[in-house]
A = this chain, B = another copy of it.
């Protein structure tokens, strides 16, 4: 998926060129898209949509970070993935069931480009290339999901935490300071790893002891990437 330059002012509207939808449509269609899209703003912690709700539209992230997650009971959750500028949300609604099967929550202020499902589907009918790109995007997501599924069953927590940190660094990159360029609560890191806060905490302490990582508040520095990668391999 496409990356966006670092224009995260929450005042900005989508410029009709960077999101998944626009970048996969011919320039001539942008006025049509512009006329049918809404810009939505969410503050940190706000729900974008909830699992079980009627799927009404497609959400294209213009700026900010979103977690895509599933809840269990009212204390447990699994974070399936994080979405950032250029990513798409809600498209699972295209399946047989027109309901969201996951939830999406802003973990920092987010600007969304939103279109109604009916409009999006009509775009797919006339824009072959958009459908093809969407299909490609799914193929990748499926691979990720299948890999994650397998990791959850086969890897122990230590390996999964190592994998999580490397995945976060790969998706969000490093800041100039050198830390992974995303600020997550330990709770969210645990939910992304598929473990509890306490176990995540202890595992990270172990990594700090072993000098594999370094921590300063919410800033995480990967010190020994190779060692972490080794931990994720079958022993």
Contact = CB atoms under 8 A, between A and B. Distances in A.
A131 B97 CA distance: 19
B95 A150 contact: no
A135 to B, nearest CB: 4
A229 interface: no
A139 interface: yes
A101 to B, nearest CB: 5
A145 B145 contact: yes
B70 A143 contact: no
Interface stretch (A5-13, A71-79, A202-210, A212-220): A71-79
Chain A: number of interface residues, binned into ranges: 35 or more
A96 interface: yes
Copies of this protein, total: 2
A147 interface: yes
Counting chain B CB atoms within 10 Å of each CB, which of A91, A94, A131, A149 scores highest? A149
A124 B96 CA distance: 21
Return the 3 tightest CB-CB contacts between A and B, nearest first: A138-B138, A72-B154, A95-B139
Given A78-B153, A91-B139, 17 more contacts: A72-B150, A92-B146, A94-B139, A96-B136, A101-B143, A124-B135, A131-B131, A134-B135, A135-B135, A138-B142, A142-B142, A145-B145, A145-B146, A148-B149, A152-B152, A152-B153, A152-B194
